[in-house]
Amino acid sequence: MIRILIFLIVVFLLVLGFAWLADRPGDMVVTFDGYQYRVTLMVAAVGVVAVVAAVMIAWWLVKSIWNSPYIISRYFRVRRRDRGYQALSTGMIAAGAGDAALARKKNKEAAKLIRSDQEPLIQLLDAQASLLEGDHDGARQKFEVMLDDPETRLLGLRGLYLEAERLGDRAAARHYAGRAIDLAPQLGWAADSTLEEKTARGDWDGAITIVDAQKSTRQLERDAANRKRSVLLTAKAMDLFDRDFASAKTAALEANRLRPDFVPAALVAAKALFRGDDTRKGAKILEAVWKANPHPDVADLYVHARHGDAVNDRLARAKKLQSLKQNHAESALAVARAALDAGDYTLAREQAESAIRMQPREGAWLLLADIEEAETGDVGKVRQLLARAVRAPRDPAWVADGIESDKWAPVSPVSGRLDAFEWRVPVERLGAVIEDVSEPAGKPVLAPPAPVVIAEPEPPEVVEPEIAPPAKTVGSTVPEPANDRKAVETMPAPAAAAPVAPALAATPSAAIAEATPEQKPAEEAEGQAVVISPPLPDDPGVDPDLPAKAPRRFGLF
């Protein structure tokens, strides 16, 4: 666009110049070799312009002829390079799609058309084709060759890192990641692997440096970086608490400043302040984290903040925590524990039962069992409460990758992942059956009794009528009822069966009584008597004065 604009400006100036000469007539006289040439200014200007144009055209022709071999060779070279890049592109797509044969074919074609020292992607395609063919040793050798070239060094380290991860060689993988992070701190995969290696060795300062580098290069958002930094500072404070208290206190306070609702950071910061006799500031930290995340360790540390306090003073501090987080199970349990230590069994029982109503879990039942044992010593009642605790869901715990721990840890013992532990109920106990039974008389009822189902063998199904006449046993004489309804009883035996009344033979019950041995019930096959029930009361029955009909057979289901 700029070139076109400049060209138009030049043409406009030339036209303006010729117009200026046309408005001012004049002659130009040239004397040469005794001759005098006279022309107008316009003709002279046109002649000058024509001469300049002719010189330029002549120069372009000479230059084109002189450079024609180079131009022709460059044309074929560009065409060859385009074909090579087309083959390289097709090969990379084939490698990504998993087509090993096409990737190898296009790699050979691209290597013939483009030199590998000019295009590093040819080496990458070669290594990828080897991986697809299953030649992992050859791929590793090609990745090692890439380490010699500064342009492909990071690519080679990445390939060697992935191969080490595939083989399960964590030490080699972390070695390659460490070399890569020294060359390029912005690499996410190298930073994560090196961070795991440093946290596994307890190099908290090195891990913090990596997190700061990730934050500066914007690999991590600000909140994520602060979260990781808080975890690392908390781990550092816990590690240095007994060896370097000053550094531990500084790290703990910074971790708590970054995440005020993080329970482990608040605990270690409060411990450091309590050790330095700054009870007021430590209590404020615990109160702040209690409002966000009520935790039993926070309550225990807050209640026992000052050594030598009386049990009533500790109970008052527990009640203060309860006022900060009302209607919460942890608040009620904290007061119940403090009341148990103070000997106030009434308050302890009331708070424990309140916690059970909010969250009927294992720890609350165990605490109630302790209260019962301390107050009454009723072994039976204590065993009943312990049985409820066994059936109740478990208390929350620190869980990471399926591993349960009573204490928080900065990394997972399974995967080595940072900040993996979470305070929650273990998954394997989420489906526990919650069963409650009523309290004895004279005591408050916490929950309605839950039925206990005991599996028993099902008895044989017996159909009973609303008004059942007495059964007639074979060989006995029993008077028949007034409505002429008869109970027919059959018993399989070698002897002939008892006669069946013709009036009942037409009913389905009679058909069942006369069924084949394969169709008879299991009780009859075992030699037991089967009672055939008479028709239901709403059935008028069969008139005995009517002639008997031939019995009808009904199919059995």
Listing DSSP states for 61-81 in one string gives HHHHHHHHHHHHHHHHHHHHH
Buried b (16+ CB within 10 A) or exposed e, 139-148: bbebbeebbe
Instruction: Judge contact between 401 and 414, C-beta under 8 A.
Output: yes
CB atoms under 10 Å from CB of 131, counted, come to 21
Integer CA distances (angstroms), 538 to 121, 465, 467, in order: 93, 11, 11
- What radius of gyration do the chain's Cα atoms show? 49
Tokens of 315: 């109970």
Q: Phi and psi for 327 in degrees, rounded to 5?
A: 55, 45
Residue with tokens 């208290």: 245
Model pLDDT, residue 528: 43
Both tokens of 528, joined, read 């037991």
HSE-up of 89 (CA within 13 Å, CB side)?
A: 6
pLDDT of residue 171: 86
Angstrom distance (rounded) from CA 492 to CA 3:
118
**Which of 400, 441, 442, 455 is CA-nearest to residue 424?**
400
Q: Considering the chain, what is the average pLDDT of its residues?
A: 79
Tokens 């002649």 correspond to what residue? 47
Element (DSSP H or E) covering residue 178: helix 170-183
Q: Is 85 exposed, middle or buried (0-12, 13-18, 19+ CB in 10 A)?
A: middle
Per-residue pLDDT of the chain (557 residues; tens, 9 = 90+): 788 999 899 888 888 887 887 777 777 788 888 888 888 877 887 888 889 989 999 999 999 899 888 888 888 888 888 998 999 999 999 998 999 999 999 999 988 888 877 788 888 899 999 999 999 999 999 999 999 888 889 999 999 999 998 898 888 998 999 899 888 888 888 888 888 889 988 999 999 999 998 888 888 889 999 999 999 999 999 999 999 999 999 999 999 999 999 999 999 999 999 998 889 999 999 999 999 999 999 999 999 988 888 999 999 999 999 999 999 999 999 999 999 999 999 999 999 999 999 999 999 999 999 999 999 999 999 999 999 999 999 999 999 988 999 899 999 988 888 999 999 988 754 444 444 433 433 333 333 334 333 344 444 444 444 444 444 433 333 444 444 433 333 344 443 433 333 333 333 333 333 444 444 433 444 444 444 444 444 444 444 454 444 444 444 33
pLDDT at 428: 54
Q: Nearest-CA neighbor of 262 among 230, 236, 291?
A: 230
The length of the chain is 557
SS3 percent helix, strand, coil of the chain, rounded to 5, is 60, 5, 35
- Rounded CA-CA distance 191/418 in Å is 13
pTM value?
0.61
Rounded to whole angstroms, how far apart are CA atoms 204 and 215? 16
Residue 465 identity (one-letter amino acid) = P
Own/partner pairs, 474-479, CB within 8 angstroms, 24+ separation: 474/498
**Helix or strand holding residue 532 (H, E):** strand 530-532
Measured between alpha carbons, how far is 386 from 460 in angstroms, rounded to an integer? 39
Closest CA to 358 of 396, 397, 332, 385: 332
Q: Kindly state the tokens that stand for 419.
A: 């900040």
In contact, 336 and 371? CB cutoff 8 Å:
yes
Contact 38, 28 (CB under 8 A): yes
Write the CA distances from 499 to 113, 402, 473, 510, 545, integer angstroms: 107, 72, 12, 11, 19
- The alpha carbon of residue 445 and the mean position of all alpha carbons in its chain are separated, in whole angstroms, by 41
pLDDT at 476: 39
Q: End-to-end CA distance of the chain, in Å?
A: 94
Label the pairing between strands 35-40 and 397-400: unpaired
Q: Name the nearest CA neighbour of 366 among 410, 336, 399, 344.
A: 336
Q: Which residues contact 297 (CB under 8 A, 6 or more apart)?
A: 263, 267
Residue type, 448: P
